[in-house]
Chains A and B, each alone.
Chain A
Amino acid sequence: MTGLRPVLIVDDSADDVELMREALAEFKLANPLAVARDGEEALQYLRREGPFVSRAAVDPAVVLLDLKMPKVDGLDVLREVRADERLHRIPVVMVTSSREEQDLVRSYALGVNAYVVKPVDFSAFADAVRRLGAFWAVLNEPPPSAGMEAPP
């Protein structure tokens, strides 16, 4: 399998997802985009459960994780991912509206790889998303996919 790893966006706001798509499209990111609309869906995607049973056994290059979401929030997702033997190496970046001290502290305590505040200004926001894509999907070498390690 030589396909590019997907970038997983986890965000409950359709508007944010659309703006991120736009920003990444302008940057012409070649990696496929996957979207989960809340934390529960994100975990199903990562574990290939529910609607994602049949997706390819490839871990995303990075998870761009919103913090404040209904049901299972970003911190819960991060905690589950880090506790899961098959998922714990996947890079996770918090992408959130605010820079609240407590969120920063908790995110890093749970082992987040990076923490990015979405700027209110769109050009700054688009720039942040582009740079995230450029670093995590292109420049960074992700850990071997747990799915790919499995014997064929």
Chain B
Amino acid sequence: MGPGLSQSRRLRPPTPPRALTVIHTLVAGAVLGLVCLSSGSSALAILLGAVALAALGGAALLWHRDVRERAAAAARLELLFSHFPDLLVTADTAGHFLDVNPVWERVFGYTAEELKEKPFLDFVHPDDVARTVAMYEAQQAGAEAVAFVNRYRCKDGSYRWLEWNATPVSVGSLIYAMARDVTERREADEKIRALTVQLEAHVAGLQALNAELEAFSYSVSHDLRAPLRHVLGFADLLEKQVAGALDEPGRRYLGKVRGAAQRMGKLIDDLLAFSRLGRAELRATDVSLDEVVRSAAADVQEELAGRDVDLKVGSLPAVRGDPSLLRLALVNLLSNALKYTRPRPRAQIELGAEPGANGNVVVFVRDNGVGFDMKYADKLFGVFQRLHSTEQFEGTGIGLANVQRIVHRHGGRVWGEGRPDAGATFYLSLPAAGREAVT
């Protein structure tokens, strides 16, 4: 027997069957008739008796209709009770459930009878009993329970989390309560909490690492530079001291000492700038690439001196990013294009944009320079990686590493295509304006 059936008895008010009502009316009429006849009444009395009988029949009919309506309302309530998706319950002051709707059986696996025969505290998780008792007592004193949460045991021994809303009703001191099974929601919340804790630990680790890197680069910038300054300083002083006495190889060696120290200084500066790029705050806004390119082109003006350069800039969209970092990336790419087209009588450099995947924008810089062999493509973006000797093309090899770092920080991708002696094209995918996008 399901709990729904057992409920119907309780909820439905006593409804006398229709036949019984009719019998009542007939019996009442017959009795009245007998009384009239036995008293040897007049025709008037018989008439009066008939009128009374008719009135009584009418009253009986009205009563019958009322009873029928009440029965229909009760049936509707019963349906609502048995089909309500949340857990409904009434409880008495002795700590027993009186009525439970069918959801209870579905959620907990107990029959309604099993749930009602023991005090409901027997089903509450031991850790929640004290709170539940306190809440129950507060309710009996007239308090409302709003979003009170505790655990109930299922027949299989597992527990489900319930969130209660209950109203004390003074009539009969019963408590009418509604509960919702919030186990899944709590488990999801728990997972989110655990993930958050994990994430926080991760962030703390990264912050520590960042602080370490910062300390490292700070010390590099102070401590590695000083000895270089000394090498260069004393080489200069030595030269002044013995200028006349040095022969050609001697002057050459001294020149090499200074050249090497200067080069190391440049490497240190580049490395520090690269490291700062990784740490600098990214201030993303919607950026007009046209403006960024104009400003980047102004930066490389010097490199155009005495050269025949055809720089074509196509129409460029707005992207989402840090304008100063994007400018730096484009300065690097333009400057590279200018450098590697130097052997060409007329350098042709094209800067443009095309739509990329996922609504990203792909910006490209194409040149007709010396190009590169695609089998070294993976080396293009490494720190201090170079595909040419410094005698051919000067530089430390930090430029494209900077470009890559900048693009990665924007959640974008960078790649290059080229052929030896047939030019190169570098591509950056960047989030379009208005998007916080990733590739």
Which residues of A pack against B, CB within 8 Å? 13, 15-16, 19, 22, 67-68, 96-100, 102, 118-123, 125-126
Contact = CB atoms under 8 A, between A and B. Distances in A.
Contacts of A118: 225, 229
Nearest to B272: A98
5 contacts: A19-B229, A97-B223, A98-B222, A122-B236, A123-B236
B229 A120 contact: yes
Interface string B383-399: 00000000000000000
A68 B237 CA distance: 25
A120 B236 contact: no
A99 B228 CA distance: 16
Interface of B: 218, 221-223, 225-226, 228-230, 232-237, 261-262, 265
A36 B225 CA distance: 21
A97 B230 CA distance: 11
A122 B226 contact: no
B233 A100 contact: no
A121 B221 contact: no
Given A16-B230, A97-B229, A120 B265 contact: yes
Nearest to B264: A120
B270 to A, nearest CB: 13
B399 to A, nearest CB: 21
Contact of B225 (A22, A97, A102, A122): A97
Given A19-B229, A97-B221, A98-B222, 9 more contacts: A16-B229, A19-B233, A96-B222, A100-B222, A119-B229, A120-B229, A120-B261, A121-B262, A126-B236
A121 B228 CA distance: 8
A98 B225 contact: yes
B312 to A, nearest CB: 37
B228 A120 contact: yes
A39 to B, nearest CB: 15
A15 B222 contact: no
A116 B230 CA distance: 17
A125 B221 contact: no
Given A96-B222, A97-B221, A15 B230 contact: yes
Contacts of B218: 98, 100, 102
Contact of B235 (A22, A122, A125): A122
Contacts of A16: 226, 229-230
Contacts of B234: 15, 19
